[in-house]
Amino acid sequence: MLRKKKNKHPLPEVELNITSLMDILTTLLFFILMVMTFSNLSILKGTSQKSGTEMDDKKKLFALKIEIENDKKAEIFLGPLTELKMVNERDLLRFLNNQYQGSRDSGFSKVVYGKDTKQLFDRIQDAVKGIKHAFPHENKVVIAYTDKVEYQTVIYSIQALKQLAEAKEAMELTTLVGTKEKTRVLFPEIILAEK
């Protein structure tokens, strides 16, 4: 006759008290529900041109200005480079002579066209990246707009000149002291003006 084998060493019954865990979870859940806000709103910072004291002519300042004509055309102006501290001037001049018009003493300019807003600002970003490589310590750019430019284009321009999009590769910059850093930041201080 077959006998059922009895398990001689049954596992002990264990009881798990999860009352406190449930307590914490529900409390935390209600707390978060009460204080949170679902918001997809954010901000972009900008500033306006401030009047100040007269400039001392002997002091040369970095001047980068972008004039947005409409959502398909813009012009970039870079002021004279004399007496400015920069990284690898030779590379910068090579870049500017290839892409811009002008000279070291009088400054450079370039007209940028795009078939739509996105392409326009992609091209503007490519055009200023070379300048950022030479001036990693400079953070200001002036953006001037004509009256017909839409506010959405204004926002795109601020975004495009502040930093590179997450989808793009970060730039490797060499600072004035020789250290290298990878960054997406271009010119975070945006000064708005009218053309």
Partner 1 sequence: MALKKKKSKKMTSTGTDVNITSLMDVLTVLLFFLIKSATVSSLELTPPKGMKLPTAEMKEEPKEAIKIALSKDMLVVDEKTMVKLDAGRFPASYLMEDGRTIKPLKEFLVQEYQKKKDFYKDVADENVDLLPPPTLLIQADHKLPFGTLKHLLHTAAISGFADYQFVVETPGE
List residues near partner 1 by CB under 8 A: 18, 22, 25-26, 28-29, 32-33, 35-50, 145-152, 154-156, 158-159, 162-163, 165-166, 192, 194
Q: Least CB distance from residue 138 to partner 1, whole Å?
A: 19
Nearer to partner 1, 48 or 179 (CB): 48
Q: Which two tokens stand for residue 29?
A: 């859940």
- Residue 140: is it exposed, middle or buried by C-beta count within 10 angstroms (0-12/13-18/19+)? middle
Nearer to partner 1, 104 or 140 (CB): 140
Q: Is residue 187 within 8 Å of 132, Cβ to Cβ?
A: yes
Q: Is residue 182 within 8 Å of 172, Cβ to Cβ?
A: yes
Nearer to partner 1, 32 or 55 (CB): 32
Q: Least CB distance from residue 153 to partner 1, whole Å?
A: 8
Q: Least CB distance from residue 120 to partner 1, whole Å?
A: 15
Nearer to partner 1, 19 or 98 (CB): 19
- Cα torsion at 126, 131, 135, 136 (round to 10°)? 10
Sorted by sequence, the CB contacts under 8 Å of residue 49 that are 6+ apart come out as 142, 191, 192, 193
Q: Least CB distance from residue 164 to partner 1, whole Å?
A: 11
